[in-house]
Structure 1
Amino acid sequence: MKKLTARRRHPLAAFVVLLLALAATGGLYTALAPADEAQAGSNSAQSLAIEEGKKLYDLGCSSCHGDGGQGGSDGPSLVGVGAASVDFQVGTGRMPLQQPGPQAEEKPTSYTQAEIDQLAAYIASLGPGPSVPEESAYDPADGDAAHGGELFRTNCSQCHNFTGEGGALTAGKEAPNLHDVDPRYMYEVMMTGSGSMPSFPALSDQDRRDIIAWLEEVNTSESASPGGFTLGGYGPVGEGLFAWTFGVVFLVGCAVWIGARSAKARKS
């Protein structure tokens, strides 16, 4: 006890206590402050992106979709469509529309990816909706192509045909060719829909990834058609019509040739 009392009365005791207090304070600040600062920085960056996105929206989108994304006579409401819809529509050049028509056509985009992200941030702030997926969500390497083929034939082939070649729809619309489409956009459009294509909420994240893996598999240049010439891959109706038309012409030709030979034989 006497030794402890003596140490407390030592001239350097107050200095040592001060050092220990400063070290403890610094340790707590290092452990706790950076997270708060990072959160504050993230919120600030998000607010700036929303602000810049609103400027882009007011300049390029509000004439059709109205102030605040509420919609208008020339465009639907964007409240609740989410960032994923903006990333798909603007990233593929479908929006802004070049001119009114049956459907929005794909074309070179008018915005940089940074500007698209800002627009997406602003639209996402108007109401909850699907967010832009992480790269791992649509990586075809993690998909099951066989299962994806079953899902594609059940849900997608009626419009895009069996191998994603695309096809005509009613009222001047068409289902686009899915060759060389960025997997991110395929994933997003299955989440949000586009034009005549509905969204597919019943599909899980893995289901979407499987469909992308199927399309990657059948559309690679190394994938040979086991049936030979694909005739464009338009499916059994188109291929059957081709076979029927040329088959009938061939049979008629054979009948004419046989008849001519028989008539010549009778004359001789």
Structure 2
Amino acid sequence: MEYTTLNNGIKMPMAGIGTFLLTPDEAEAAVVHALENGYRLIDTANAYVNEKAVGRAMKKSGVARKDIFLETKIWPSFYEQEDAVEKTLQRLDTDYIDLLLIHQPAGNYVAGYRLMEKAYKEGKVKAIGLSNFTKEQVQEILDICEVKPAVLQTEVHPYSQEKELKEFLDKAEIRIQAWYPLGHGDTALLKDALLMELGEKYKKSTAQIILRWHIQDGNIVIPGSKNPEHIKDNVDLFDFSLTDEEMQKIKELDRHARYYTSTPELLAKYVKMVPPVDEQK
């Protein structure tokens, strides 16, 4: 495993498993399998309604809590609830969270950020950050924060490389984390001729080539899967490296093509959505 150091000195694995769209049973099984196969970064969220399952999986795995980097996200409808972080800790059945993010730039996200800062100062959270924020929204937080965000989780993949955003984040000492690192399973990306050619050269899948590109480009990745073979393959990334020339060729694949587009209407809808967190298994 390769690690990066966040702006507050905390070390974070460069590759982990995401649990978006996994049921509690699927998330529990996937996280146990991931930890058995060398993963140490686990990503979940209030909105995924599988935090309890992730907590169970960490204990079931037998891996020491101190060796697991646990990441979760607060949902907009909870930003103004003073006990939002405490309830998240209870669901995960843990004393602390390694990285806590604001999930969406919706509603009173400044209040949500203040909750995270308080939790950080109390030692309940080791690092805090943002998810799905634009460059301008990140700057808004930088202008008012007492604790600097360490990570921005956003959509990044070879067809949408976010070069300008990454340059801004580098200057602000904020690490970028890619969700949809494989382009949401888009067959066009996974069957891209260049990536398939590199897969043949290195005897790796196209997905592994994409994930290796991410890591060498400085992107933390959290591909999601419930398939044991895919989970195993998605962390088998550290026995080869792409050349500078190959990295440049992949850089030229950028189409600025996103699969997720935020709108004011969508953000307003998020504020009204209340994930059934108390009903999860």
- TM-score under structure 2 length normalisation: 0.23
User: Would you tell me which structure has more strand in proportion to its own residues?
Assistant: 2
Structure 1 or 2, whichever has the larger Rg, is 1
User: Would you tell me which structure has more helix in proportion to its own residues?
Assistant: 1
